[in-house]
Amino acid sequence: MARPRFRNLDKDTRNQILETAAVEFAARGFDGTSLNRLIEGLGISKGSFYYYFDDKADLFSTVVDHAWAVFLPEGELDLAAFDGENYWPALQELMRQARARARANPWVAGFTRLIYNPPDNPDIREALDVLFAKAREFQAELIRRGQELGAVRDDLPIELLQSLLVGADEAGDRWFVDNWERLGDDEVERLFEEVFAIFRRMMEPPPG
């Protein structure tokens, strides 16, 4: 994690550093991101960078925390408030917000892909593992709550169902982000409802 003095910088400066680094890490991965080019792009010197961060891995860890804050839905999530009546609408609203965040921070989608090709550096692997374990647990809680309510099928290994859903969801996110401008908000909303209906049919107990 960044040295304490990092907090002394302007909030804008801190944000610019973390966002720029996040975009670069998301696009090129940890090893693929050049620290030299990054700080040159930011207009800060090497000495300054190492004054605020221990090393490249330290910057990455800080960015991971930043990414997690963006990934999480706003406000606390009260699973107990989900009941048989509102489970599907509440889930749909969560996904709608997630899609909005994905559009506002397109690098987050790139970040999620880092887990598949982790670098050798063990600190980085651990930071990614922790991040994605949290994300997976969050998704799994939503699914399990649906199973408790009888809304979601429980005849498949939950990891399998979760994999299918997350895979489809990430692909859908990508498609919506890529085509949002062309389609306009209304068409996106209409298609999003269709897509959510597909997700719901994936999750519900199969007919027959």
Decide: is 35 part of the binding site for DNA (CB under 7 A).
yes
Beta carbon nearer to its own copies, 110 or 146? 110
d(CA 203, CA 148): 13
Q: Which of 46, 55, 197, 205 binds its own copies (CB under 8 A)?
A: 197
Per-residue H/E/C for 172-195: HHHHHHHHHHHHCHHHHHHHHHHH
| 159 touching its own copies, by CB under 8 A | yes
Cα–Cα distance, 113 to 159 (Å, whole number): 18
Question: Interface with DNA includes 15 (CB under 7 A)?
Answer: no
Tokens 């599907």 correspond to: 88
Q: Quick one: DSSP state of residue 6?
A: G
Residue range at the interface with its own copies (CB under 8 A); choices 67-75, 92-100, 108-116, 144-152: 108-116
Q: Helix 56-71 vs helix 122-148: angle between axes, to the nearest 10 degrees?
A: 10
Site map (CB under 7 A) of DNA, residues 173-192, x = contact: --------------------
130 binds, among its own copies, DNA, none (CB under 5 to 8 A by kind): none
CA dihedral 32, 35, 37, 43 (to 10 degrees): 150
Contact residue for its own copies among 10, 11, 160, 186 (CB under 8 A): 160
CB of 151 to its own copies, least distance (A): 16
Phi-psi region of 72 (alpha: psi -120 to 50; beta: other; left: phi over 0): beta
Mark the segment that binds DNA (CB under 7 A) among 28-36, 103-111, 129-137, 195-203.
28-36
Q: How far is CA 134 from the centre of its chain?
A: 11
Evaluate whether 53 touches 2 at the Cβ level (below 8 Å). yes
117 lies in the site for DNA, by CB under 7 A: no
32 binds its own copies (CB under 8 A): yes
Q: How far is the CB of 82 from its own copies (least distance, A)?
A: 23
Q: Which does 140 bind (CB under 5 to 8 A by kind): DNA, its own copies, none?
A: none
Q: CA nearest 27: which of 118, 106, 144?
A: 106
- Residue that the structure tokens 């910057």 belong to: 59
| Positions in the binding site for its own copies (CB under 8 A) | 27-29, 31-32, 110, 113, 116-117, 119, 155-157, 159-160, 163-172, 174-175, 179, 191, 194-195, 197-198, 201-202, 206-207
